[in-house]
Amino acid sequence: MMNGQQYKDSLRKLHPIVYCNGRKIESVVDDPMTAPHVNSAALTYELAFDPEYEDLMTATSHFTGKKINRFTHVHQSTEDLVKKVKMMRMIGQKTGTCFQRCVGFDALNASYITTYKIDKKYGTDYHERLKKYMQYVQETDIMVAGSMTDPKGDRSKKPSQQADPDLFVHVVERREDGIVVRGAKAHQTGMVNSHEMLILPTTNLGPEDKDYAVAAAIPVDAPGVIHIFGRQTNENRRLEGDIDCGNAEYAIVGGETLTVLNDVFVPWDRVFMCGEYDLAQEFVETFASYHRQNYGGCKVGVADVIIGAAASMAEYNGCPKASHIKDKLVEMVHLAESMHCCSIACSAMGHKTEAGSYYVDTLLANTVKLNCTKTMYEISRLAHDIAGGFIATLPYEADYRSEVCHGYIDKYFAGDARFPTEDRIRMARLLENMTGGTALAESMHGAGSPQAMRVMIQRETNWEQKKNFAKRLAKIKTGD
């Protein structure tokens, strides 16, 4: 296993092409725009060596019997699924943000299940290829970016119907030694500070879309790969100081990119689906349910920080004992724990797959994520209510640091005299950044839009059974 520093050193050996705000980033480890995301992911490596968190952060490889970082593990029990959620909550509490590594974790586990099914149906050897690749991932402890979402173009049309065929990643050439893929992946969390990406199909496909049924592992610096770093709501603050950032060490979200694949070659041993279009939707749903499981972990860890910040603001404002403040704080805890309960439940109710790994209860996994799309907004709203409107109107840090303005700001933004004004400002900035547009949009749309969860819940719910429960009590004849 790598520790945090070894992870950073390993990134320095890579040479991805990354553009950000009209310039090329030379080192993602050292550039101020990407360094906080590196720091956040590095903690997933560093905590694996902390005895206090060893049980959550590490596992035993079912391939080799060696101790590995849990983020490279294939779930072997419902206990593994539960530990995953607990691990993510703990890391969320420590970073207050996205630590990015779960997407690849989920992509690997979804691939483990789906490649087994493809092989069973078609007699291919994708599963064996994937097992060898996963052993490589475990041995090297590399960070893999789960790479599913395509730009999609006209949402009313299938991939093969698009005006531009590259709006979904597709195979443009099949060679004796491998394939060539073209297209792009959008909203790619943690991509620039990963070692490799695992691309997956993003939607259900028909026979005419078979070239879009592709799954493969690609280094982030492979020839033909270009990353365009996405703009975030607080990015310029990283260049100006540490107070206005709110969370200067770890940033606020996951450092997303548009990743372009310009005729990228992939050798066959790194190809895990190629043309099996009828299993694309199952690939998507398996990954999505694993990923939606996470939100009662990582987002609850973030919510714990928001709740702590709101409680601190109540103290700094001098009103921690006001009944309405206490009610709001309790409601925030209730909402957070409700999300966590659902993630624990979908894990505990998981089951063993044909491939031998364990998979979540899909109905409950989609339920927790749909809850999260609403709950994180409400937690943030309550935090705004408790903290006060000044979190949105504070002066610049540069003015606070200036000789002319410092005294005025320190005097007039004071709260309870027991606490330094700077502490109140720092906490306010943390809340402003954590509950602003970018973080909330990610809670709403990360791992799929709310409608995607509704579709899965509609599909997974046994409606006839529920109707029969009611009919029996009403003494109406049932069909069973």
The residue type of 450 is P
Residue identified by tokens 């890391």 is 91
Cα distance between residue 332 and residue 305, in whole Å? 11
Which of 339, 331, 348 has its CA nearest to residue 385?
331
Task: For residue 306, give both structure tokens.
Answer: 């928001």
98 annotated active-site: yes
Q: How far is CA 319 from CA 265, 310, 315, 354, in A?
A: 61, 11, 6, 56
189 annotated active-site: yes
The residue type of 20 is C
* Active-site option among 7, 277, 295, 316: 295
Q: What are the backbone angles phi and psi of residue 216, rounded to the nearest 5°?
A: -165, 155
Beta strand pairing call for 214-219 and 18-20: unpaired
442 annotated active-site: yes
Cα distance between residue 61 and residue 40, in whole Å? 24
* Cα-to-chain-centroid distance, residue 255: 11
Q: What are the backbone angles phi and psi of residue 237, rounded to the nearest 5°?
A: -65, -25
* Active-site option among 34, 44, 115, 189: 189
* Active-site option among 98, 245, 274, 346: 98
Which residues, including other chains, have CB under 8 Å from residue 329's CB and lie 6 or more apart?
307, 310, 311, 314, 382, 386
Give the sign of the dihedral formed by CA 291, CA 292, CA 294, CA 300. Answer: positive
Residue identified by tokens 């909203």 is 187
Cα distance between residue 43 and residue 51, in whole Å? 14
298 annotated active-site: yes
Do 84 and 75 form a contact (C-beta atoms < 8 A)? yes
* Active-site option among 102, 245, 342, 346: 102
* Active-site option among 20, 245, 274, 298: 298
256 annotated active-site: yes
CA 128, 130, 134 angle in degrees (round to 5)?
Answer: 120
Which of 8, 214, 223, 189 has its CA nearest to residue 105?
189
* Active-site option among 46, 196, 235, 256: 256
Cα distance between residue 420 and residue 316, in whole Å? 9
Cα distance between residue 443 and residue 300, in whole Å? 11
341 annotated active-site: no
19 annotated active-site: no
* Active-site option among 73, 127, 291, 340: 291
Beta strand pairing call for 358-359 and 351-352: antiparallel
Catalytically active residues, by annotation: 98, 102, 189, 256, 291, 295, 298, 442
